[in-house]
Amino acid sequence: DAKTTQPPSMDCAEGRAANLPCNHSTISGNEYVYWYRQIHSQGPQYIIHGLKNNETNEMASLIITEDRKSSTLILPHATLRDTAVYYCIVRVPSGSARQLTFGSGTQLTVLP
Amino acid sequence: GAVVSQHPSWVICKSGTSVKIECRSLDFQATTMFWYRQFPKQSLMLMATSNEGSKATYEQGVEKDKFLINHASLTLSTLTVTSAHPEDSSFYICSAITSSSYNEQFFGPGTRLTVL
């Protein structure tokens, strides 16, 4: 799986958009970008994934650069409950080894 | 989405005792389950991969005789920490995928183990 780089922490004002960056310059052509988050003392929660097109769901939007070397997770209207560690993971979705390799992630703190 | 439960949510035990943690997929059949461990202020580390009906595959550095994993059915995997010591105190998280799941892995809520 390709290595990812994320800032260790970010703050965001409640109600504003939270933009979380992720660098994955060694991503290969068949690897997807996944985002998970982990609220304190809970298990990780899937947010969104994408290959090369921008994706949006009820939780967030994922913007992947054209060269696919970086991406941004956007929480359009952050709430206090969005305070969590956000993990960007790059991997091939299929295959026998489908475990997730978690990096250090970004601690997002949403401020009132 | 699919739901994965863990039991207990927290446990305190004495050093030298064994503790069993259960991971259940509530509304789907899980051909593969993973066990992760997370120490305070650290990221999740994969311990082992558990496939239904076969022996678990352990990551390097994880003692298979200390962390016994059983995946006897498509909805249940158990992790037993044998002869627990204070350094085994951690947050243990399981996850499950189905044979048809390409995109997301479903995580349990985690079990906080404290060994005195």
In sequence order, what DSSP letters do the residues of chain A get, joined into one string?
----B--SEEEEETTS-EEEEEE-TT--TT-EEEEEEE-TTS--EEEEEESSS-EE-SS-EEEE-TTSSEEEEEETT--GGG-EEEEEEEE-SSSS---------EEEEEE-
Tens of pLDDT along A6-39?
A: 999 999 999 999 999 999 999 988 889 999 999 9
Cis peptide before B8 (omega within 30 of 0): yes
Nearest CA in chain B to A49: B103
Is A78's pLDDT higher than 60? Answer: yes
Is B25's pLDDT higher than 90? Answer: yes
Q: Is A7 on the interface with B (CB under 8 A)?
A: no
Tens of pLDDT along A49-69?
A: 999 989 999 999 999 999 999
Is B101's pLDDT higher than 80? Answer: no
Mean pLDDT of B35-47: 93
CB contact residues (below 8 A), chain B span 21-50, against chain A: 32, 34, 36, 43-46, 49
Lowest model confidence (mean pLDDT) among A63-67, A103-107, B13-17, B95-99: B95-99
Lowest model confidence (mean pLDDT) among A24-28, A69-73, A89-93, B109-113: A89-93
Mean of per-residue pLDDT scores for chain A: 92
Q: Is A49 on the interface with B (CB under 8 A)?
A: yes
Is B45 in Cβ contact with A102 (below 8 Å)?
Answer: yes
Is A98 in Cβ contact with B97 (below 8 Å)?
Answer: yes
User: How many CB atoms are closer than 10 A to CB A99?
Assistant: 21
